[in-house]
Structure 1
Amino acid sequence: MRIVFAGTPAFAVPALRAACARGEVVAVYTQPDRPAGRGRGLQASPVKLEALERGIPVYQPATLKAESARETLRALAPELMVVVAYGLLLPQKILDIPRLGCWNVHASLLPRWRGAAPIQRAIEAGDAESGICLMQMEKGLDTGPVLMSQSLAIGDDETGGQLHDRLSELGAQVLSDGLGLLRAGMRPVAQPQPAAGITYAHKLDKAEARLDWSQPAVALARKVRAFNPWPVAEATLAGERLRIHGAVALALAHGAAPGTVLAAGRDGIDVACGDGALRIRVLQREGGRAITAADYLNARRDLAP
C-alpha cells in the first residue's frame, strides 16, 4: 500500500512512525521551514526531521491549490493519504487523488471541537474526556465521517502539554489499528458525524492568555492548565506582570476586590477572583524561568506573611 503522509508538528511524529511500520510511506508532506529561535534561522518541522532520518522524500509546498501540486501528488500514485496536524487545507481535487481518499487523525471526539486547538479547548471548557477520531476527510472543516475513535479521561490537573502527548500516542495507535484493518481487506466503516453537539476549537491567540481576575477561579484554573505550555497564562499580581504556569481553584468565600492577594505562603499565593480564589503555585517573572510560589516570595518580601 502506497501511503503519503502529511503532517508538521511533534504531535504528528508518532503517527508517522505508525504509518511507516511496514515501509509503505512513499513521501511526506510538511509545512515549509520557518524562522525560529533567537537567531530566527530556518527550522525544519519535527515531521520533516523524522522523515529525513528515515530516508523518506519530503515535499514542502506553500499551497496545494496549484495544478503543479496536484501533478506532483498524482506522480506519487498514493493509495492513501494520512493527514495529521498538517496545517494546510486540502482542496477537493487533492482529496480525490488517492484511491482510498485521505484519512485525518483528529484530537477530539467529533463533532465536538472541530478545528485547530481541540486539546486546549477541551481543558478550558472543563470537559471530562477527550480522544482521537480517525476521519475520512472531505472538503468541510473536520466534517467527514468517522472511521474509528477512542476516548480517554482528562486528568483533574492535566495540562494542555500533557494531554497533547497522550493524545499523540493514542492517535498513532488508532491510525495503526485502522491501517491494520485496511491491510487485511477490511476497510473501516465510515459513520457520519451526528448533527448535534458541534463545537469549534478556534486557534489559540496570545491575547487570550491574559487572566481576568473578575472571572470565577475555576475558569481561570482551567485556562492556566489549557495554555500550558503555550501561550502560558499571564496576569498582573501586586503590580508585577507574571506568567502563570500552575494554579488551582479554591472554593473560598471573600469580600475582596478581584486581583487582591488574600494570602501568600509555601503552598502558593491566593488571589481573589470574581468567585473563589486562585492559588498560584508556579509562576515566571519577566526574563526569568518558571519557579515555585515559595521561591518567588523570597524575592517579594512585601507579599510574604
Structure 2
Amino acid sequence: MGYRIVFAGTPEFSVAPLRALLASEHEVVAVYTQPDRPAGRGRKLTPSPVKQLALEHQLPVEQPESLKTTAAQATFAAYQTDLMIVVAYGLLLPPAVLATPKLGCLNIHASLLPRWRGAAPIQRAIAAGDAVSGITIMQMDAGLDTGAMLYKAELPIHPEDTAQSLHDKLAPLGAQALMTALALLPGLTPKVQDEQQACYAAKLTKAEAQIDWQADAINIVRLIHAYNPWPMAFALLEEQPLRLLNAQAVTATVTTGATAQSHQAGEIVALDKTGLYIACGQGQVRLTQVQPAGKKPMSAYDFAQARNLIGQVLR
C-alpha cells in the first residue's frame, strides 16, 4: 500500500531516501527543504541537493524560513498527507506540524539511537572510536531525536573510515532502512529510547579542529578522520595552517637521529614514503595526506619534498 508523503530534507545525505521514495509505490506530494544559501567563491544562491532532485521530478518545493507560522502550517496541512519523512532537514518541527500527518512524522537518523542524538552523529561516533554505527527510523516528537524507535540497521565503522566515507555508506543504508520500515509499518512496535544510554552529538565547530598533540595517537587519528571533510583537522607549521586529511596510529616508534624520549609532542620525527611521523603524548601519528594553505590535497610524502621538516614541531 502506498502512502501520501511529504519529504523534508536538505543535504546530500537526504537525496538517497528521496530517490528511493520516488521509485516506489508511495506518492511524494511535496518536498520541504532549507531556503537557497550562498555557496562557492561567487557566493551565488544555490539550491540544496534535495531541491535539485525535486525540481528534476517536477515536485512542489516548499522552503519556509520557519514552520511556526500559521501560514506555513496551513500550507503544510493542505497537502493532506499520511506521513512526513524527515532526513537532515534542519528546521524544527513544531507540535502542530508533528500532529498533522495521519500517521505522524518519521525521521531517518544516522546513528543507533539513543546513542548520538543531535547534529553530528557520524563525526562523533568516529571521534569516540565506536565500532558500529547505523540508521534508526524513529517516530518524531517534540524532543531532539528522542522519539520512539521503529527500525534499526547496523553498519561497522572501519579504522580507516572518515566522516565522508561513513556518510557515503550510511546514506544508501538510510534509504534501504526507510523502505523496509514503510513496508513493515503497520506491524512495527515503537520502542521507547533508554534515556540512560543517551548521549549527545554536538554540532562541530572550527575551534575544535586544531589538534592537541599531547593526546594519545589513536585518539588524534580518530579526530582527523572525524573532521574530514569538515571542519578539517589542522595544525600550525611555521605559523601556517596545515590541514590533516588522513592518518594512521603507529604502534612501533619510528625516529630519525634521536631517542624517542627526547621528542616533544607534535615534533616531526621521521619521514618515509608512507608519510610523516609525529610524536604524540602517547604513540605516534603517521600523517598520510595533508593540504597546505592555498594548495590542493597531497600525500604527506610529497608535501615533505624540498622541505627540511625533521625536528620541526606542529602546534
Normalising by structure 1, report the TM-score.
0.96
Which residue of the other structure, out of 245, 270, 274, is the alignment partner of 1:267? Answer: 274
Show CA shifts across 1:281-301 (max 9, x none): 100110000001121111314
Q: Could you say if the C-alpha distance between residues 78 and 187 of structure 1 is closer, same or farther in structure 2, counting changes exceeding 3 Å?
A: farther
Do the aligned residues in 2 keep the contact of 1:119 with 1:160 (CA within 8 Å)? Answer: yes
2:73 corresponds in structure 1 to: 70
Residue type matched to 1:242 in 2?
A: L
Please say if 1:147 is aligned against 2:150.
yes
Please say if 1:33 is aligned against 2:40.
no
Q: Which secondary structure does the structure 1 equivalent of 2:165 belong to?
A: helix
1:106 corresponds in structure 2 to: 109
Q: Which secondary structure does the structure 2 equivalent of 1:132 belong to?
A: strand
1:119 deviation in Å?
A: 0.3
Do the aligned residues in 2 keep the contact of 1:113 with 1:199 (CA within 8 Å)? Answer: yes
Please say if 1:257 is aligned against 2:264.
yes
CA distance in 2, matches of 1:208, 1:252: 28
Do the aligned residues in 2 keep the contact of 1:258 with 1:274 (CA within 8 Å)? Answer: yes
1:4 corresponds in structure 2 to: 6
Q: Which secondary structure does the structure 2 equivalent of 1:249 belong to?
A: strand
Q: Which secondary structure does the structure 2 equivalent of 1:196 belong to?
A: helix
Normalising by structure 2, report the TM-score.
0.93
Show CA shifts across 1:175-232 (max 9, x none): 01112224xxx24211111122110000111111110111111111001111111111
1:154 deviation in Å?
A: 0.4
1:190 corresponds in structure 2 to: 190
Which residue of the other structure, out of 70, 82, 89, is the alignment partner of 1:79? Answer: 82
Show CA shifts across 1:144-164 (max 9, x none): 000000111101111110100
Residue type matched to 1:265 in 2?
A: D
Bigger CA drift: 151-160 or 251-260?
251-260
Show CA shifts across 1:51-83 (max 9, x none): 000111000000011111110011111110000
1:117 deviation in Å?
A: 0.4
1:239 deviation in Å?
A: 5.0
**Number of equivalenced pairs:** 301
Please say if 1:208 is aligned against 2:208.
yes
Show CA shifts across 1:37-57 (max 9, x none): 000010000000010001110
Residue type matched to 2:6 in 1?
A: V
CA distance in 1, matches of 2:105, 2:239: 52
Q: Could you say if the C-alpha distance between residues 106 and 302 of structure 1 is closer, same or farther in structure 2, counting changes exceeding 3 Å?
A: closer
CA distance in 2, matches of 1:206, 1:252: 32
CA distance in 1, matches of 2:187, 2:237: 56
2:52 corresponds in structure 1 to: 49
Cα RMSD, aligned residues only: 1.4
Please say if 1:117 is aligned against 2:120.
yes
Residue type matched to 2:301 in 1?
A: A
Please say if 1:245 is aligned against 2:245.
yes
Show CA shifts across 1:73-109 (max 9, x none): 1111111000000000101111000010000000000
Residue type matched to 1:81 in 2?
A: M
Do the aligned residues in 1 keep the contact of 2:35 with 2:64 (CA within 8 Å)? Answer: yes
Q: Which secondary structure does the structure 1 equivalent of 2:89 belong to?
A: coil
Q: Which secondary structure does the structure 1 equivalent of 2:190 belong to?
A: coil
Do the aligned residues in 2 keep the contact of 1:237 with 1:259 (CA within 8 Å)? Answer: no
Alignment of 1:276-287 (within 5 A): 276-287=283-294
Please say if 1:291 is aligned against 2:298.
yes
Residue type matched to 1:243 in 2?
A: R
Which residue of the other structure, out of 152, 175, 184, is the alignment partner of 1:181? Answer: 184
Overall identity of the aligned pairs, in %: 50
Q: Which secondary structure does the structure 2 equivalent of 1:76 belong to?
A: coil
